[in-house]
Structure 1
Amino acid sequence: MLACGTMGSAVLSGVLDALSSGSTAADGVSMPGKFLACVKRPESAARITSTYGDKVEVYLHKHTEAVAFADVVVLGCKPQMCEDILTMKGMQEALKGKILISLLAGTTIKQITDFVGPETIVVRAMPNTPCRIRQGMTVVCFPYLASPSSSSVDLVAVSAAPSVKATIHWIFSQIGRALFLEEKHFDACTALCGSGPAFACVMLEAMTDGGVMMGLPFAVAQELAAQTMQGAARMVLDGNHPAVIRNAVSTPGGCTIGGLLVMEDGKIRSTIARSIQEATNIASGLGKKK
């Protein structure tokens, strides 16, 4: 873990939990045997040691040394710190021939490759914080080039060797769902998946407040709201369209349709959609220098 902040810790926690529960690897995937975490502050080193004990070896101010030992490197710093870390003395040589998975929002594969050189396989991934409990959603992209046999949008992944792709898929499937997409979609995925838990929790808090306003104890209202949201999401993942679920609950003259009309009066659909739009626009600039 090259820098081990919020998202890096979420991935690390999920993978360690998967291993401790007996998860096995598919053919062609080597199970990780050692975990190294690179940090710049003693406080961060103490936090990681306190959280993971001897499961993770901490390297304080020794980023290049740790990378030299690793086969797969996960870059989990803030986008603004990317250049400083990847241009450290000896870093390009240490990364040569290895897989570098970038978790950086708004930072393209080309930007990373410009720092580390073409001999490092740079993979871009966007996980979210539910990875901590192995319920994450991760979008993954490999480097792409236009196919030499076509001038259209026919694309080929130049670095997605089967063993590399299998390793990446194994890592992120241990902490939830993993989906492969083209890089042009990443800013929207950052908004929808990365920021999404915060948006969902605002709705959950609002539903809880409504229950409390109508006399329910806070803890009861929160549990009811959380389980209801989880159940509805699971039904969608099982193949049910959200509109079908909504219509099935909305009986004529019932309480559900009354509540839905109030939500529509508050323009909840456009407000949430615009929130995703704004978060996408901000994500697109995170990797750019100020």
Structure 2
Amino acid sequence: MSIAVLGAGVMGSTLLAALVRSGHDPGDLVVSDRSSGRAEQVAAEHGTRAAASTAAVETADVVVLAVKPQDMAALIEEIHDHVRPHALVVSIAAAISTDYLERRLPEGTSVVRAMPNTPALVDQGMSGMSPGRHCTPEQLDQARALLESVGRVIVLDESHQDAVTAISGSGPAYIFYVVEAMIEAGVLLGLPRDTATELVVQTLYGAATMIRETGTHPTVLREQVSSPGGTSVAALRALEDHKVRAAFLTAMEAAARRSRELSPPAG
């Protein structure tokens, strides 16, 4: 299966590297970018080929659109006459709907919309994936296998993609924000910064691993840490006093709303 990755930015190059690691023949992979130098650099790093976007899609069974949303219209216009019949097009651009792509690609083109996130860089990504009108079950499986090379994948109705963007797409930023704050608190309490960093990062990793491996609800896990009258309860009371839970809800609603605003009209 030949795959063309159009866009050699962070997510495009990450996916390309993961495909090579997962056993894809580098000869079947081609990367394109507006900057030919960038495409050649990424191709050289992973032993794949670099080509212009039109040449890349002419031989591709799967075309991955990994450009910024504002660059999508120009890219689609450029490759329109070169997409192979029965090719699968997978878009990982935020806020671009399958309807938008289907109206601009050749009639009947199979499209999948996906929202990965930056932990894909370490093969721990989370992607939400939605098929378009013409996508067959076999093609959906192809798209799933492609994205599983960088982490976990769920398939859901496209109407939920703004929520996916708000939760997992933007989610790493929230986690990094909390980690920053906890490290600063450690420094404020007199710890060396490297010590505070190690304590916070391992605590985060351990807590996330507990949730995944035990299957226990986070509320139960939180209660297990929170002894009556203890330190955790005192801290959680301060978080509630500052309405941190409400702030997170408001923040994610804002992210979902912004995702909707960024989505261009399909017509």
TM-score (structure 2 length as normaliser): 0.91
Q: Distance in 2 between matches of 1:38 and 1:121?
A: 21
- Displacement after TM superposition at 1:33 (Å): 5.1
On the 8 A contact 1:106/1:284 being kept in 2, the answer is yes
Report the AA paired with residue 255 of structure 1.
Answer: T
- Does 2:107 align with 1:121? no
Instruction: Tell me the residue number matched to 2:122.
Output: 133
Superposed CA deviations along residues 243-272 of structure 1, whole A, max 9, x for unmatched, are 011100000111100111111111111111
On the 8 A contact 1:86/1:92 being kept in 2, the answer is no
Q: Distance in 2 between matches of 1:216 and 1:3?
A: 43
- What 5-or-longer segments of structure 2 have no aligned partner? none
On the 8 A contact 1:102/1:122 being kept in 2, the answer is yes
- Displacement after TM superposition at 1:226 (Å): 1.3
Please, which of 278, 281, 287 is the counterpart of residue 254 of structure 2?
A: 278
- Does 2:229 align with 1:253? yes
- Displacement after TM superposition at 1:36 (Å): 0.7
Describe how 1:13-28 pairs up with structure 2 within 5 A: 13-19=17-23
Does the residue aligned with 2:22 lie in a helix, a strand or coil?
helix
Instruction: Tell me the residue number matched to 1:216.
Output: 191
Q: Distance in 2 between matches of 1:13 and 1:49?
A: 9
Q: Distance in 2 between matches of 1:44 and 1:257?
A: 51
Q: Distance in 2 between matches of 1:128 and 1:165?
A: 19
On the 8 A contact 1:18/1:175 being kept in 2, the answer is no
On the 8 A contact 1:95/1:116 being kept in 2, the answer is no
Please, which of 155, 159, 181 is the counterpart of residue 156 of structure 2?
A: 181
Does the residue aligned with 1:87 lie in a helix, a strand or coil?
helix
Superposed CA deviations along residues 188-246 of structure 1, whole A, max 9, x for unmatched, are 10111111101100001111111111122211211211121122122222311110111
Cα distance change, pair 217–18 in 1 and its aligned pair in 2 (3 A): farther
Q: Distance in 2 between matches of 1:197 and 1:106?
A: 18
- Displacement after TM superposition at 1:9 (Å): 2.1
Q: What is the number of equivalent residue pairs in this alignment?
A: 260
Q: Distance in 2 between matches of 1:5 and 1:35?
A: 16
Which structure's relative contact order is higher, taking Cα pairs within 8 Å and 6+ residues apart? Answer: 1
- Displacement after TM superposition at 1:16 (Å): 2.5
Instruction: Tell me the residue number matched to 1:190.
Output: 165
Superposed CA deviations along residues 3-61 of structure 1, whole A, max 9, x for unmatched, are 222222222233323338xxxxxxxxxx77521111111442354146x24x22112xx
Instruction: Tell me the residue number matched to 1:74.
Output: 64
- Does 2:90 align with 1:86? no
Please, which of 26, 33, 38 is the counterpart of residue 39 of structure 1?
A: 33
- Does 2:3 align with 1:48? no
Superposed CA deviations along residues 143-195 of structure 1, whole A, max 9, x for unmatched, are 24xxxxxxxxxxxxx5232x322222222222111100000000110111111
**Would you tell me which structure has more helix in proportion to its own residues?**
2
Give the RMSD, CA atoms, in angstroms. Answer: 1.9
Instruction: Tell me the residue number matched to 1:230.
Output: 205
On the 8 A contact 1:14/1:133 being kept in 2, the answer is no
Q: Distance in 2 between matches of 1:95 and 1:273?
A: 44
On the 8 A contact 2:98/2:132 being kept in 1, the answer is yes
On the 8 A contact 1:80/1:287 being kept in 2, the answer is no
Q: Distance in 1 between matches of 2:39 and 2:182?
A: 39
Please, which of 201, 204, 220 is the counterpart of residue 244 of structure 1?
A: 220
Describe how 1:133-212 pairs up with structure 2 within 5 A: 133-144=122-133, 159-161=135-137, 163-212=138-187
Please, which of 76, 99, 115 is the counterpart of residue 88 of structure 2?
A: 99
Q: Distance in 1 between matches of 2:13 and 2:26?
A: 16
On the 8 A contact 1:127/1:139 being kept in 2, the answer is yes
Q: Distance in 2 between matches of 1:47 and 1:287?
A: 31
Report the AA paired with residue 224 of structure 2.
Answer: A
Q: Distance in 2 between matches of 1:93 and 1:46?
A: 21
Cα distance change, pair 227–92 in 1 and its aligned pair in 2 (3 A): farther
TM-score (structure 1 length as normaliser): 0.84
